[in-house]
Amino acid sequence: MQVQQVSRLDLQLKVGEVSETITVEARSLELQSDNATLGGVIDGTKIVELPLNGRNFVQLAQLIPGVQAGTPGSITVRRGRGSIGQQDSPFGSTAMSANGSRDTANRYLIDGIEFMDYDAMTFAFSPSVDSLAEFKVETSNSSAETGGAPGGQVNMLTRRGGNRFNGTLWEFKQKQRSHAGL
């Protein structure tokens, strides 16, 4: 093939037998009709398995339709609330904007409790992604219980404790042991 080459292939189709049947099956997408909230959930599988350069939950939040990086030069980006030691002022991956609203118009909750830095109008600290079970980003039409800011509403749920060791390093070592037959 060459660029803009026109290829031609003539095919002959034969009419099938009358006894042939074709069955088309499809499942419809479930429509969420409980409320008008738009957004999405980043579950634990995505948190653990998707690669992150910087280990910041905001990078995962940017996977939700309507969420983009913060505006370079804004106070939320300049503060760079990334993981420990991370500063990302020129690129904005430590701040988010939802559906065109300002990156200072978001509200952040962790386990249902607001954790905001009202000086910079951003999250007070960046929790480790390893400590998160999942989080939900609402980009529009938030309900009265989570609303309170015109931008995005981010509600993070932390992992729960138990009687066994857990964590990504522990799970990694366990998988290595099981593959080695130990």
CA atoms within 13 A on the CB side of 36: 4
Q: How far is CA 68 from the centre of its chain?
A: 11
**Across 11-25, 112-126, 160-174, least confident range:** 160-174
pLDDT of res. 48: 83
pLDDT of res. 166: 61
**pLDDT beyond 80 at 50:** yes
**Tokens 């701040």 belong to residue:** 95
Q: Per-residue pLDDT averaged across 162-170, rounded?
A: 67
- Do residues 98 and 91 touch, judged by C-beta distance below 8 A? no
9 part of a folded domain = no
50 part of a folded domain = yes
In the chain, where does DSSP find H-type helix?
A: 44-49, 57-61, 75-79, 168-180
1 part of a folded domain = no
16 part of a folded domain = no
Q: Which range marks the domain in which residue 70 is found? A: 38-180
18 part of a folded domain = no
- pLDDT digit string, tens, across residues 112-143: 888 888 887 888 888 888 888 899 998 887 77
| Mean of per-residue pLDDT scores for the chain | 78
pLDDT of res. 82: 55
Partnered with residue 68 across adjacent β-strands are 97
Q: Whole-prediction pTM value?
A: 0.66
130 part of a folded domain = yes
* Number of separate domains in the chain: 1
- Closest by CA position to 105, among listed 42, 56, 157, 147: 147
28 part of a folded domain = no
- Do residues 62 and 33 touch, judged by C-beta distance below 8 A? no
165 part of a folded domain = yes
CATH number of the domain at 126, please. Answer: 2.170.130.10
- pLDDT digit string, tens, across residues 63-105: 899 998 887 777 777 676 654 445 554 555 578 889 888 888 8
